[in-house]
Amino acid sequence: MTRILAVANQKGGVGKTTTVINLGASIAVHDKEVLVIDLDPQANATSGLGSEEADVLGIHSFISGENTLEECTVKTEVEGLSLVRGARHLAGTEIELASQDEREYFLAEALSASDLSGYDYVLIDCPPSLGLLTVNALVAADGVILTVQSEYYALEGLSHLMETIRRIKAHWNKKLSIFGVVLTMYDKRLRLSREVEQNADEFLGKTLFRTRIPRNVRLSEAPSFGKPVILYDAFSSGAKSYMSLAREVMGR
């Protein structure tokens, strides 16, 4: 069975794209087939996986139904990791979508019309907003992974996000669940990080992944080489932490 997971948080810069790229790569090296869908007009997952943004045959052609998933998918340097490329003009698509009926279902429909049987996991990278693109991702997904940066106010934004998820579940997608929450940019030497961790633990219980993603410079350098961190520095703490997260995800 293919598991479709959206990686979301309306807050910017909290490690969504880093998680999509590196969790995707770390699952793929366990002999799984993983598809990353770049649903963010910033197209950071696309460049971080070494691809150019797509004029045609990317996310736009896929959700508009012009082309099939197969036509819109490219391979990456990691065996087993494929990508539907993002594009800046997807921001325009979001505006086009806004005036159409059933606008919440475009991605869900495109995916259900596709043959996903070759994939174990589909990971969707969401933009930093709760706009239509993120709603489309949450309507298409079975589960959502929330990335939370270990800093002040992180949990306040989280309750708003969880409320949105509850609404989407009630109106559009009964099968949606919170698959897990991951603490990113964690620094155990900082009291603030430990406080956020403790609050997250109390608030989230088992939803919180045990793996913490540390602040690690290798994770921030790797995208400029168009590589996931396991191909850039497999022995870095960042690479090890995403491997550990991958095992947790596959075990859930």
Ligand X SMILES: Nc1ncnc2c1ncn2[C@@H]1O[C@H](COP(=O)(O)OP(=O)(O)OP(=O)(O)O)[C@@H](O)[C@H]1O
Q: Write down the least CB distance from residue 234 to ligand X, Å.
A: 16
Give backbone dihedrals phi and psi of 104, rounded to 5 degrees, phi first.
-80, -15
Among 50, 128, 131, 143, binds ligand X (CB under 6 A): 128
- Name the residue nearer to Mg ion (CB basis): 114 or 213: 213
Which of helix, strand or coil describes residue 82?
strand
Closest CA to 71 of 87, 58, 90, 82: 58
What's the one-letter identity of residue 98?
A: A
Q: Write down the least CB distance from residue 188 to ligand X, Å.
A: 13
Residues of this chain, 196-225, that bind ligand X according to CB under 6 A: 213, 215-216, 219-220, 223
- Name the residue nearer to Mg ion (CB basis): 17 or 184: 17
Q: Is 16 in the site for Mg ion (CB under 5 A)?
A: yes
Q: Which stretch binds ligand X (CB under 6 A): 8-16, 74-82, 158-166, 172-180?
A: 8-16
Contact 110, 63 (CB under 8 A): yes
Q: Write down the least CB distance from residue 112 to Mg ion, Å.
A: 25
CB neighbours of 48 closer than 8 A, spacing ≥ 6?
17, 18, 21, 222, 223, 226, 228
Q: Write down the least CB distance from residue 131 to Mg ion, Å.
A: 14
| Contact string 29-58 vs ligand X (x = CB under 6 A) | -----------x-x-x--------------
Residues of this chain, 153-182, that bind ligand X according to CB under 6 A: none
Contact 177, 8 (CB under 8 A): no
| Contact string 42-81 vs Mg ion (x = CB under 5 A) | --x-------------------------------------
- Decide which of Mg ion, ligand X, none touches 226; Cβ closer than 5 to 8 Å per partner kind: none
Residue number closest to Mg ion, CB atom: 17
Q: Is 16 in the site for ligand X (CB under 6 A)?
A: yes
> Given the DSSP bridges, would you call strands 34-38 and 208-214 parallel, antiparallel or unpaired?
unpaired
Contact 243, 236 (CB under 8 A): no
Closest CA to 242 of 13, 2, 15, 12: 15
Cα distance between residue 203 and residue 97, in whole Å: 35
| The residue to which tokens 């991958």 are assigned | 246
Residues that bind ligand X (CB under 6 A): 12-18, 40, 42, 44, 128, 184-185, 213, 215-216, 219-220, 223, 238
